[in-house]
Structure 1
Amino acid sequence: MENFFGHYLLFLADTATIVVALLVIAGGLTAIALNRRKGPAAGQVQVSDLRKQLEQSSENVQQLRLDKKALKAHQKARKKDRKEKAKDGDTEPCTYLLDFKGDIRASAVSALREEISAILQAAQSGDTVLLRLESGGGMVNTYGLAAAQILRLRTAKIHVTVMVDAIAASGGYMMAVTADRIVASPFALIGSIGVVAQIPNFHRWLKDRHIDWEQFTAGKFKRTVTLFGENTDTGRAKLREELEEIHAQFRDFVQQYRPQLNLEQVATGEAWPGNKALTLGLVDQLATSDEILLEAAQKGKVLALHYQRKSTLPQRLGLAAQQGWDRLWQSPL
């Protein structure tokens, strides 16, 4: 009997595997056909009223903190305040909140550009942008693109404040300097105005095993250093030269937007905590993003923007297949 149940379970597993595979393949083929007709899947910018969320959180606390009489008086005062704000609703400034959490490729730039485009179409005179930034840096070209997105706001005369709670280093700081103001928490890591390149080299390991690695290029410096080939002093020197050129461009970029900095002092590749960064002029104020957001909410509306890309059909089918597979193996027999 146990042998029978064992074979039966294996049969179920094989069947489930085949079904899941067929679903994924069918979903992929269907999505390809749809994409050819409709083009790539689009997304949309989602907007939430952060000030209302903060006010609701405050009200929830007050209901438990105050006695009935005090709560009634508080609610009456809040109602009067809302009426006054409603009268001034068209004239009060609006603050837009953006979030950028960077990886090595600065992949969040695809969402940032959509969010900034939405702001540029809706913003009025006096509106401002708060960008909550967290990044340890990464690829020069993609972080350069992210910095260029922030400059679109400055070109449109929209004041931008970058808020750093944890880290804005290297490419992250390249983005931060394009803002009108940089605010950092006391122990946030700031700076790292430098360039680095590092790769392992397996040439000796391959040579010990009598494995040849052949690489064909056109152009003297098409490849300067390689993972598997034997690196030369000429190639290493060329790479160092390229890194120095990029570092010089980085320095010039920082100097353009923060001319008060002593680059000989800060463009060494070092990073400093927020309080030291303030002394060096790398940031303008010490505060957490929470403090800045509360201040903005007291002055006017605070709208948080988040670009959400629509998932494609194969992504949805893949997720459904994975969930079905998990349920199959996690459910009791």
Structure 2
Amino acid sequence: MKQFLSRLLPKSMRPGVVTIPVVRLHGTIMAGGGQFRPTLSLASTAGVLEKAFSYPDAPAVALSINSPGGSPVQSRLIYKRIRDLAAEKNKDVLVFVEDVAASGGYMIAVAGDEIIADPSSIVGSIGVVSASFGFTEMMKKIGVERRVYTAGQNKALLDPFKPEKKEDVERLKALQLEVHETFIDMVKERRGGKLKDDPDLFTGLFWTGKKGLSLGLVDALGDIRTVLKDRYGAKAQLKLITPPRGLFGRKLGLFGSSGGFSAPDIAGAAAAGLIEAADERALWGRFGL
């Protein structure tokens, strides 16, 4: 009779069955979120993280990460939210790297109590990068004059339509060094004595998961299903946590779904989407993906 009644219950409620919430953190990291493709930010991930950590009987939360990086601020905000929830709910955090956890993606990964990667994953890239274009010669060729009026001599710093100034580049590099130091401190705090003494570790280089294991950037090699089943039993259930969906299956934003879009809205979103796609392609392309 007990067996019969047990079968009527959902698998996650049956005796001896452990449910592990899984959150997929996949995409580039930027504030605001992409118009046409998924991106990661605190706003886009806070809800699913809260839900995952709210499972009372789950001993751990699993995070699947696949990100080439992006905004250092959003990366750190996501990292901090994960650590705050882990402490509040007393949960272990297991991070599983898919194709890549690099730069800001690796910053999020170090929120894990353990990092498990595929041998061919890309990990690391502990550095800071800024990229832009210079259009000064093009402006001359097409006969366009750039006119910028500012209150404050540094307000038009690194204007891509004006010749680059040495002092502007030095200012940018100083800012990058500060952000880089914050990143390094986070990695050292979380990885501690696991890190090997390698001079290239914080230079922005990246490695395979297999090499990352020997450097102390990851703790083990494996995949999410195998590791969780081995650790929590063959009956362990992996529960994918997804954002709520509104009417017609559209994912809800931070404040719900929008009522409609005008033609200028759509055109503006399309233009923004092209820029986002180019930026995203450049980030993934750095890692051969």
Tell me by how many angstroms 1:219 deviates: 3.9
Give distance in 2, aligned partners of 1:202 and 1:290: 49
- When Rg is computed on C-alpha atoms for both structures, the one with the higher figure is 1
One-letter code aligned to 2:214: T
One-letter code aligned to 1:255: K
The correspondence of residues 127-146 of structure 1 with structure 2, limited to 5 A, is 127-146=59-78
Stretches of structure 1 lacking an aligned partner (at least 5 in a row): 1-77, 319-333
The correspondence of residues 180-329 of structure 1 with structure 2, limited to 5 A, is 180-260=113-193, 261=195, 262=197, 264-295=199-230, 296=232, 298=234, 300-308=236-244, 309-310=251-252, 311-314=257-260
1:12-56 per-residue CA deviation (whole Å, 9 max, x = no partner) reads xxxxxxxxxxxxxxxxxxxxxxxxxxxxxxxxxxxxxxxxxxxxx
Residue number in structure 2 paired with 1:108: 40
Tell me by how many angstroms 1:294 deviates: 3.6
Tell me by how many angstroms 1:229 deviates: 1.7
Q: Rate the CA distance shift 1:80–1:147 in 2: closer, same or farther, 3 A.
A: same
Query: Is the counterpart of residue 176 in structure 1 residue 94 in structure 2?
Result: no
Tell me by how many angstroms 1:191 deviates: 0.3
Q: Rate the CA distance shift 1:267–1:87 in 2: closer, same or farther, 3 A.
A: closer
Give the structure with the larger helix fraction: 1
Decide whether the 8 Å contact of 1:185 with 1:274 is kept in 2: yes
Tell me by how many angstroms 1:263 deviates: 6.7
Tell me by how many angstroms 1:223 deviates: 4.0
Tell me by how many angstroms 1:97 deviates: 0.8
Tell me by how many angstroms 1:208 deviates: 3.8
Q: Rate the CA distance shift 1:218–1:303 in 2: closer, same or farther, 3 A.
A: same
Give distance in 1, aligned partners of 2:156 and 2:187: 29
One-letter code aligned to 1:101: H
Bigger drift between 264-273 and 276-285 goes to 264-273
Q: Percent identity?
A: 27
1:125-169 per-residue CA deviation (whole Å, 9 max, x = no partner) reads x52101111001111122222212211232222100110121100
1:42-72 per-residue CA deviation (whole Å, 9 max, x = no partner) reads xxxxxxxxxxxxxxxxxxxxxxxxxxxxxxx
SS in 1 for 2:163: coil
Alignment counterpart, residue 83 of structure 2, candidates 119, 133, 151: 151
Q: Rate the CA distance shift 1:285–1:81 in 2: closer, same or farther, 3 A.
A: farther
One-letter code aligned to 1:152: D
One-letter code aligned to 2:183: F
One-letter code aligned to 1:236: V
Decide whether the 8 Å contact of 1:224 with 1:238 is kept in 2: no
Q: What's the TM-score once normalised by structure 1's chain length?
A: 0.63
Decide whether the 8 Å contact of 2:107 with 2:187 is kept in 1: yes
Q: Rate the CA distance shift 1:207–1:294 in 2: closer, same or farther, 3 A.
A: same
Q: Rate the CA distance shift 1:218–1:145 in 2: closer, same or farther, 3 A.
A: farther
CA RMSD of aligned residues (A): 3.1
Q: State the number of aligned residues.
A: 239
Q: What's the TM-score once normalised by structure 2's chain length?
A: 0.72
One-letter code aligned to 1:242: L
Decide whether the 8 Å contact of 2:111 with 2:190 is kept in 1: yes
Give distance in 2, aligned partners of 1:167 and 1:231: 33
